[in-house]
Structure 1
Amino acid sequence: MELYHGNFQDLLGRILWIAPSCKILAPTIGFLLLYGLAPSQKGKLSMAMTIEQQERFETLVRQLEKDSRHHPTNYQIKVALLAILGYAYILFVFLLLLGIIWGARTFLVAASSEALTNQLNLMAILVSLGVLRLFWIDTKIPKGLPLDRLHAPELFATIDRLATILQAPKCDRVFLTDELNAGVLQSPRLGLLGWQQNYLFLGLPLMQALSLQQFRAVLAHELGHLSGNHSHFSNWIYRLRKIWFELAERFPEQENSGSFLFQWFFHWYAPYFHAYSFVLVRANEYEADRCGVELAGLKNEAQADINLAIYSYFLHKSFWPTIYQQAEQHAEPPSDAITQLLQQLKIGLSPREAAKWLDRALAHRTDYEDTHPCLLDRLTAIGYDLDQIQPPEPPTQTAAEYFFGELLWSFADGLDREWKNEVAGSWEKLYLRAQQQRRNLAALDEKAQKRALTVEEMWKRACLTSTLQEAHKAIALFQQVLEVEPNHPLANYQLGKILIEKNDFQGINYLEKAIATDPELVVPGCDLLYDFYQNQGKIKQSKFYQQKGQKYYCLWKRTQQERSRISHETPLFPHQLADGEVRQLSEQLSTYPEIKKTYLVRQKVTLFPEKAFYIFAIVLQTVKGAEANRKSHEEIIDRLENDLNFSGNFRVIILPNSNLKLEQAICKISGSCIYY
């Protein structure tokens, strides 16, 4: 009997020769079999959507919302069938591959080729392991401090009581985090087969912002997602949705694998399932809110929602920007950021500030980018009297104080260290960026002593002065820009911002002019004017700008989305900049040793076409012994986007690009090469 000594690729070739009828399907065995050896087909699979896809998605979800209201049973059947389809396709591919191998094996057994038969047995095992590996879900567990019953007995007792009432599975691990949030995470031990391991994450800032009963409502909400008292079906879809999402995002990252067998399917399936399950998952959020009402009472559930909405805005708009502003002066992040936050949450906000953030939260409307409903819809759904909505009083004793006592600040110290380590890299980049900005400002100041600056140089000098020095010092510099170019949008915007922050009503006119001349400044401009009039107690005027900003918000987001994408099919045109501006850009680009050549073109856009959008395409070179060679493309792009003396709307890309046709299209544009 002839022994087979060839490799697996040779074996595959023999199978194709033996079984020509399988030529189309058999190569798939090779890719899956040679997991980690054969090259994969790299495709893009992402839940990020284009404008057109987003519009189709929203149209479909609206239709499904109607279906779920008028024909709930039919809707759930459709979702269930779609969920099963994912499993069915995986099983189909698996059985198909095994069927091909088994057919070849049967042929070889009949031909008395024992060696090849043994090889095919091994191939079947490897195919099984390959499919298992593809769908083995290794869930990333968020960082946090692990809690145990010894140090927080009352907290665990509360969790156990609520889980028992809700018939929810026990929490295997509980972690304390630095976020104003709480959540449950299920990690399937057996991949798609389940056997969930349950994690509960509790934000220490959240516990410090809420009273005991308000926190109990939040806890009931999170455990409600796992509740056995409510719809097992919606909970199953809730979990499955996360699994498909993770697989859809992971497939493109899997190199040298057989993932291409499933990639094309999930490229269609994941977004479609995302839309079909969207309505059900949002309903699951409302159902979880009702769990909070049942176990903690209507008032506590409502006040928890209101408090979290208020403090979310406070953290996003005030606290964290103030913390990160320190990176301009300090090379290391503060060692007590979370402690500072907890102290602020204990003190609470002034009535005026709390009312301002609450008004912002109530103005937000439910959209199709997040399954979580807006605050107003959540309060309406649980039957809370909307006339009674107001910022809750700070609790006498917070949930964090109740459960942790003297250990609270020990936990805060631990989270301080975690936070500092986590942000160290990004903080260093901010600090280095600030140092580069100082050098750029010094160069512009020196240049201003020797010659007249261009408009773009004047604008950049004013911006850097405003950022790195006291803002009032930049007023005269912005005014100089406007003397030369009265309708300069960003100069009007920045000057108006500085003035209204000083409670100077002249800033209104500058912001109005910025809004009128640049549609992309409508949303941030209205945001500033809303805050200004709120602080002045002029509610009618503040509402006007709030509504105007909301009206433009969706269009503004679509504009950002459109400008974030470019391909070889995107129409490109000459930049049409003045010669003086091209010279100053070329002069600035010459200070980057890693840049060999730069192209500048104008990209056609359909939204706000009157607002030009530019592409800087950079060709890099190796500089012997230079630090620049160790910088990543992302670092170079980030530096250019922040440093260039250019107020136009633009993005930076690095050439050679993976899209050769795009690179060729850019280089063909007349006058596009501005530095070489």
Structure 2
Amino acid sequence: MPNLRRHRLRISAWLLLGDVALLTLGLLLCLLPALLLVALPGLFGVLAAVATFPAAPFGLVMLKVPFSSRVQGDEDGIPLLPEQVPQLFTELERIRSELGAPRLDAVYLNSQFNASIRQHRVLAGRTRNVLWLGLPLLDTLSPAACAAILAHECAHIAHRHGRYASRVYFARLQWQAVSDRLERNRTLSGAPLRLFVEWYVPRFLDISLDFARHCEYQADAEAARVCGADTFAQALIGTALQRRALAEDYWPRLYTQAVNQPRDNLQPLLELARHGLLATPVDAAQAGTWLHAELCNSTERSDTHPALAERLAALGIDTARTDLPLNWQRAQPSAAQAWLGEQHHALAQRLDQEFAEFIRERCNDAREDYQALVGEHHELLRKQRIRSLNSDEIARLAWLYRTHLDDNPRAASLLEEALEQDPEHRALRQQQAFSLYQAGEHQAAAQRWQQLAAEPGPYQLGSLRQLSMLAMTAQDWEQASHYRQQADRLQKQTNAEQGPPQYHAHELAAVEVNKLAQTLAPLLRIAGGVWLLRLPDSRHYVLLVQARENLLLRLVSRLTGEQNYSQRNCEQLLDRLMPRLHLRVEAYLLEDNDPRLAQCTEAARMRLDASPD
């Protein structure tokens, strides 16, 4: 608790610093024309006052920001009442009483896979406590797991995190408003404030987000005290697994089915409420593989919540175990079935009606994705009639047969023929491993993944995860642990590096490079440098472009917030020239400090006078 007090004091000091800066700079900008009129003699003073007059309205806006009213946000969703769902409110009252939390003023049901609570002041200084419950969360987790999550949320208001967090959140909105104002008014009059914002905002965010994570740890500890550490840990794990199952499989599958079998009134939340077990994860081994990958993620500076591994470690859970006990299946009965009772399906239907526009957008997105895959399939077949496909194209076509068209035998035959011609191609071998696994030939698939796992590259980590899953399926815990440790080290190393992607030499013939250079000639004449590289293990290319810059251009850009004319010209030329290229190329405009510049060698530089080697 003392630690949180220190955090609050630090944040309060930074909030005060920000308000004082806004008031001081705003006052100076308001008075600037008058000060110049008085300080400079005669005509010079009048001209200076006229020139700086636009600074006064800008300063007035700055003065108003610290005193602007706090927008609390809409209380959206379906309001729930005790007489409507008594079981839910009985559980809420039990949890609230055990934690000593204040009463809830409102409870809403929404369509998010989440639960959240908000505190804010209303009339006479009283605090309003509002809880939001996501129906997908209630529909997939057990009553015990959801009770632990509710205990975590109630712990926030028991310790008054919510109201203070709202104050910090509102401060972020204030500074966002200031940044937006600076973006719209890119003038020298805003330069002092722009420089302060660039210095202040990143530091304020670091401190406020660190405070938010400390609040999460404290709420976790309170939930574990009330519900038990194992129960709360299972709630955290179940949330991670079911979120992935819904996001990566269930929702996409549902919307894709709606494309193939058009329906006038798709009701995804009602479908979920009526649905039984989810298709993924298929078993405890796949769930364990998902969990191991999630546990390798670390907390980022911009995160309001600590990473799963850190939260479990704080609860005393040994995350190094390969055979962690998992409630990986969708709960039967779910919290929604237990707490919403007869109102369950009616509430799901109401939410579907409220979010009908969002559902239509998702259906349109699924239709566009489906049509894009159909178009890609037809394009590959067209190329196949004209010429032999290269190995990358065959791997992609096999993937389309296997996943999009559900024709694994066709994919297997295509891959077998291609590997006779190019036995070392990694994308082909990876696709064959999945095809063999899909056909039930697990031993042959494991051999392919073992080969890929031994080769550094983009398929190494995924192959290690698949081998760990196969070992867990066979209950070979020693082998599963061996593969998991290798995969964890590789994933953590990749996460820690987080460097720029490593490109390869483009390996194009001189005639191809000359053809590109002629197309890009206008860009090559004005840019400081243009380099062509290749993405590893593919025939996709990247064009790295650096605009011409100098100290004066950088200084003016920093003070006014304007992009310098050289960068703007390069962007415009890229927009115009890229569609004319005959290769698949992605273009990136680099800043001076971009780490990818280290890969921009003379051998990769594009020149107008390029000649055959």
Question: TM-score, normalized by length of structure 1?
Answer: 0.63
For residues 506-521 of structure 1, the aligned pairs below 5 Å read 506-517=444-455, 519-521=457-459
1:440 to partner: Cα distance? 3.6
CA contact (8 A) 2:465 2:483 kept: yes
1:288 to partner: Cα distance? 0.9
For each residue in 1:98-153, what CA deviation from the matched residue of structure 2 results, as whole angstroms up to 9, or x when unmatched? 266469779999xxxxxx9xx99x99898455543587665665963343455335
Following the alignment from structure 1 to structure 2, what is the Cα–Cα distance between the partners of residues 410 and 282? Answer: 37
CA contact (8 A) 1:335 1:417 kept: no
Query: Which residue of structure 2 lines up, in the alignment, with residue 132 of structure 1?
Result: 64
CA contact (8 A) 1:212 1:402 kept: yes
Query: 1:256 aligned to 2:184?
Result: yes
What's the C-alpha RMSD, in Å, of the aligned pairs? Answer: 5.4
1:357 to partner: Cα distance? 1.9
Pairing partner for 1:463 from 399, 402, 405: 399
Query: Which residue of structure 2 lines up, in the alignment, with residue 529 of structure 1?
Result: 467
Query: Which residue of structure 2 lines up, in the alignment, with residue 439 of structure 1?
Result: 375
Query: Which residue of structure 2 lines up, in the alignment, with residue 218 of structure 1?
Result: 149
Pairing partner for 1:544 from 482, 488, 492: 482
Unaligned ranges ≥5, structure 1: 1-71, 110-115, 565-571, 590-598, 619-632
What secondary structure sits across from 1:201 in the alignment?
Answer: strand
Q: Which deviates the most, 349-358 or 427-436?
A: 349-358
Following the alignment from structure 1 to structure 2, what is the Cα–Cα distance between the partners of residues 461 and 492? Answer: 14
What secondary structure sits across from 1:179 in the alignment?
Answer: coil
Query: Which residue of structure 1 lines up, in the alignment, with residue 19 of structure 2?
Result: 90
Q: Which deviates the most, 520-529 or 382-391?
A: 382-391
Amino acid at match of 1:408: H
1:202 to partner: Cα distance? 0.5
For residues 435 and 130 of structure 1, do their structure 2 counterparts lie closer, same or farther at Cα, with a shift above 3 Å needed?
A: same
Query: Which residue of structure 2 lines up, in the alignment, with residue 422 of structure 1?
Result: 358
For each residue in 1:404-451, what CA deviation from the matched residue of structure 2 results, as whole angstroms up to 9, or x when unmatched? 221110111233345663253354244234324323433432443343
1:374 to partner: Cα distance? 5.2
Query: Which residue of structure 1 lines up, in the alignment, with residue 287 of structure 2?
Result: 357
Percent of paired sites with the same residue: 22
For residues 468-617 of structure 1, the aligned pairs below 5 Å read 468-469=404-405, 470-504=407-441, 505-517=443-455, 519-557=457-495, 562-563=500-501, 575-577=506-508, 602-603=532-533, 614-615=541-542
For residues 473 and 159 of structure 1, do their structure 2 counterparts lie closer, same or farther at Cα, with a shift above 3 Å needed?
A: same
For residues 268 and 423 of structure 1, do their structure 2 counterparts lie closer, same or farther at Cα, with a shift above 3 Å needed?
A: farther
What secondary structure sits across from 2:508 in the alignment?
Answer: coil
Query: Which residue of structure 1 lines up, in the alignment, with residue 218 of structure 2?
Result: 287
What secondary structure sits across from 1:267 in the alignment?
Answer: helix
Following the alignment from structure 1 to structure 2, what is the Cα–Cα distance between the partners of residues 377 and 560? Answer: 20
CA contact (8 A) 2:30 2:57 kept: no
What secondary structure sits across from 1:478 in the alignment?
Answer: helix
For residues 404-415 of structure 1, the aligned pairs below 5 Å read 404-415=340-351
What secondary structure sits across from 2:325 in the alignment?
Answer: coil
For each residue in 1:543-579, what CA deviation from the matched residue of structure 2 results, as whole angstroms up to 9, or x when unmatched? 3332222212234346776249xxxxxxx99732358
For residues 345-424 of structure 1, the aligned pairs below 5 Å read 353-354=283-284, 356-358=286-288, 360-361=290-291, 364-365=295-296, 367-369=298-300, 370=303, 372-373=305-306, 378-379=311-312, 381-382=314-315, 390-392=325-327, 397-417=333-353, 421-424=357-360
CA contact (8 A) 1:285 1:372 kept: yes
1:473 to partner: Cα distance? 0.9
Amino acid at match of 2:202: P
Following the alignment from structure 1 to structure 2, what is the Cα–Cα distance between the partners of residues 143 and 518? Answer: 49
CA contact (8 A) 2:4 2:214 kept: no
Following the alignment from structure 1 to structure 2, what is the Cα–Cα distance between the partners of residues 312 and 382? Answer: 21
Pairing partner for 1:307 from 238, 246, 251: 238
CA contact (8 A) 1:574 1:669 kept: no
CA contact (8 A) 2:461 2:487 kept: yes
Equivalent pairs counted in the alignment come to: 538
Query: Which residue of structure 1 lines up, in the alignment, with residue 552 of structure 2?
Result: none
Query: Which residue of structure 2 lines up, in the alignment, with residue 174 of structure 1?
Result: 107
Following the alignment from structure 2 to structure 1, what is the Cα–Cα distance between the partners of residues 23 and 112? Answer: 42
CA contact (8 A) 1:457 1:645 kept: no
Question: TM-score, normalized by length of structure 2?
Answer: 0.69
For residues 256 and 451 of structure 1, do their structure 2 counterparts lie closer, same or farther at Cα, with a shift above 3 Å needed?
A: closer
For each residue in 1:275-319, what CA deviation from the matched residue of structure 2 results, as whole angstroms up to 9, or x when unmatched? 445554333222212332444455643443343344334334543
Following the alignment from structure 2 to structure 1, what is the Cα–Cα distance between the partners of residues 305 and 86? Answer: 31
CA contact (8 A) 2:104 2:130 kept: yes
Amino acid at match of 1:98: L
Amino acid at match of 1:256: R
Following the alignment from structure 2 to structure 1, what is the Cα–Cα distance between the partners of residues 366 and 379? Answer: 20
Following the alignment from structure 1 to structure 2, what is the Cα–Cα distance between the partners of residues 83 and 603? Answer: 49
Following the alignment from structure 1 to structure 2, what is the Cα–Cα distance between the partners of residues 412 and 305? Answer: 24
Amino acid at match of 2:428: A
For residues 201 and 240 of structure 1, do their structure 2 counterparts lie closer, same or farther at Cα, with a shift above 3 Å needed?
A: same
Amino acid at match of 2:494: W
Following the alignment from structure 1 to structure 2, what is the Cα–Cα distance between the partners of residues 442 and 173? Answer: 54
CA contact (8 A) 2:299 2:306 kept: no
CA contact (8 A) 2:106 2:130 kept: yes
Query: Which residue of structure 2 lines up, in the alignment, with residue 113 of structure 1?
Result: none
Unaligned ranges ≥5, structure 2: 39-45, 520-528, 546-571, 595-599
Amino acid at match of 1:151: Q
